[in-house]
Amino acid sequence: MKKEEKIAENFLLKQGYVDIVFEPLGLSMPPDFSIEGEIGIEVRRLNKHMGHVSKPIEKLEFNLVPKFRKLLLELENPELAYSVGVTLRYKRPLTVSKNLLDELKKSIRNSTQLELFKSDIVFSDKLTYVLWKGNGKSNQTYELRTLMDFDKGGDVTRARYEALKIAIEEKNRKLKHLKSSYEKFWLILIDNIFSIVDETTKIDLASLPEIKSMFSRIILISKTSPYDWVDIYPWNN
């Protein structure tokens, strides 16, 4: 089972589905999963594309994000009366070392104490951040709100949308001959384009023209945080 398929399987189990069968029609045959013999499920990575050639996502983001989220958890402060949103911007090349993370943690703590909100804090020539003061206190003191790669270029929503068109077209062709085999089909996509997946992701995609699909449900799951997911199809649901 590929890594993406394992993420999808764990997602389905955590959602409480039963009778989940991997490759129900045989080895390496679609669909990747079935649920109770009624729902056929395909799984795929969502990659940024150039034309029809898939380009793997820059590894730096998926190295940086888990470590930065861990750093924010270590900054937890029960005495602070409000939560703080963090926008992180970076340039490559950037080495995510222990020393960098330690110094960044000190900088964020000091900036909070000085209430330097809504201002660009230049940590280094490769890294800047902005702190946003919340109106109240949520479950976590510091929350990663936005991550920006200055070198990647382009709009994240547009990149996802173009990748979705290619993924859906590919899977529509692949499953066409199986339409009568299952009552409905789902598509689970593991997002390799951007690390943050939330309700804003769905709202932004729904602002673009609907992509016709044979799937009754399309689910987008964050690669870096598999607990973060959203239904992106039906388009305006």
Q: Quick check: 49 and 163 in contact, CB under 8 A?
A: yes
Q: Where are the domains of the chain?
A: 3-55+155-233, 59-149
Vertex 157 angle, CA 159 and 192, to 5°: 55
Percent of the chain residues topping a pLDDT of 70: 91
* pTM score of the predicted model: 0.63
- Per-residue b/e over 66-75, b at no fewer than 16 CB within 10 Å? eebbebbeeb
Using one digit for the tens of pLDDT, what is the confidence trace for 192-224? 887 778 887 888 888 889 998 999 999 999 887
CA–CA dist 87, 122 (Å, integer): 12
**In the numeric block, which tokens belong to residue 78?**
């029960």
**Locus of tokens 């070392």:** 97
User: Which positions ≥6 away from 139 have C-beta within 8 Å?
Assistant: none
pLDDT confidence bin for 52, thresholds 50/70/90: very low
> pLDDT per residue over 169-184, tens digit each?
999 999 999 989 999 9
User: Which CATH fold would you assign to the domain 3-55+155-233?
Assistant: Trna Endonuclease; Chain: A, domain 1 (3.40.1350)
